[in-house]
Amino acid sequence: ASRPTSPVNDTSRIRKLLNALAVKPVDLVNKLDQLFLHNSMSASMRTQLLDTLNNIPADNPELRSQTALYLVLALGQDQVQR
């Protein structure tokens, strides 16, 4: 029988995935849109996120992914309420 995955391991895997995607901000935004907004992100939100992420140095994928996640979760509520 397989053991249940601990939330800590899941969080670590998600963080690694997002950091890997952060090299190409459009991929990161697409994944966050899929995971948290069910592909309902508005064009203006997508543009704002990409502008913000492209201003973060590419050699800092962790900051890119953390910023993107924070903004999607904080701003995404407006998307969900529509």
Query: CA dihedral in degrees (20, 5, 66, 78; nearest 10)?
Result: 120
Give 28's Cβ-side CA count (13 Å radius).
Answer: 32
pLDDT tens per residue, range 2-43: 666 555 567 888 899 999 999 999 999 999 999 889 999 999
Length of the chain: 82
The predicted model scores a pTM of 0.81
- Residue 82's pLDDT is 47
